[in-house]
Amino acid sequence: LLQGVRIPTLSSFDALPKRIQVGDEIVTIQRPTFRLARNLTVVHNLMDDKDYLPSNKELEPFKYAQVAAAASVSRRKVESCIQGTTSLLSYCLGKGENVALILKDIG
């Protein structure tokens, strides 16, 4: 079972099953999905995909302590990095700039 993750104030990441036709066969693939946090969509008047998650799907909260331990930094440093990323992303969106959020080693 694949579990999505929610990073408060930034976004949600998940992989949702999608059925596609391949020749005579129907194949189910896992489609990666990204959803910007509600605070950013509201502030910047962006469209929100309300059908992003099935109603019974829950996302796992981001594990700051585990990330901090793996990176050999403090939890506060991890929280600060997430906050800085959110602020920079919000600033770029506010300026109407194209933004590419690259997540190394995801998936």
pLDDT mean over 69-87: 93
Measure the CA dihedral 100/77/44/12, to 10°: 70
- Average pLDDT value for the chain: 83
Question: Do residues 51 and 65 make contact, with C-beta atoms less than 8 angstroms apart?
Answer: no
How far out from the chain centre does Cα 18 lie? 18
pLDDT of residue 75: 95
pLDDT of residue 1: 52
**3-class SS of residue 22:** strand
Which pTM value belongs to this model? 0.69
Which band of pLDDT confidence, cut at 50, 70 and 90, is reported for residue 73? very high
pLDDT at 76 over 80: yes
pLDDT digits (tens, 9 = 90+) for 24-56: 999 999 888 888 888 888 888 887 666 555 555
pLDDT of residue 41: 86
pLDDT at 22 over 70: yes
Judging by DSSP bridges, how do beta strands 5-7 and 60-61 pair with one another?
Answer: parallel
pLDDT of residue 57: 66
Host H or E run for residue 52: none
Question: Do residues 6 and 62 make contact, with C-beta atoms less than 8 angstroms apart?
Answer: yes
